[in-house]
Amino acid sequence: MEEKGLDLNTILVVVSKDDRSIKALDWAIYLGNNCKNQSKLLIYYDLRDVYYLKELAFTFGVPVEIDVDEKEKSSAKTRLKELLKKFTGEYKIEFFYSGRKKEKLKDIVKEISPDLVITTVDYINVLPKYEKDTLVVT
């Protein structure tokens, strides 16, 4: 019997609303399902759109819904759970705001110390600081 490929216990994947993020999540699901041991997916959803919306609203005095964060989180969880139906392992969804400081992601990677980081080109300026194996989806 042929043994499965990579030995990845933890895969951290960074996602947001864009199509590249969905491709990144698809890669994470594929790799996680096909590792020697079932990988755990740590999904970090970037709420940067909410951050920018609030920033613009504050700058120009435009009203914004108070619970815009919670609505976005709820919507994102629903979308992600649908996509994760094809993943056979354990996963965890977390939210963060990168805003202008995408460096925050570097701190998350350092703290969690995953075996693999999967991200999009949106975070390419932070990649050298990860100090982890990284798959960049374009």
Give kind and range of the element (H or E) at residue 46.
strand 40-46
Angstrom CA distances, 87 to 9, 43, 66, 101, 105, stand at: 14, 12, 34, 31, 24
More confident residue, 100 or 88: 88
Q: What is the set of domains in the chain, with CATH numbers?
A: 10-137 (3.40.50.620)
Res 75: pLDDT: 94
The C-alpha atoms of residue 44 and residue 41 are separated, in whole angstroms, by: 10
**Encoding tokens for residue 110?**
């350092």
More confident residue, 102 or 72: 72
pLDDT at 101 over 80: no
Alpha helices (H) along 1-138? 19-33, 48-60, 68-83, 103-112
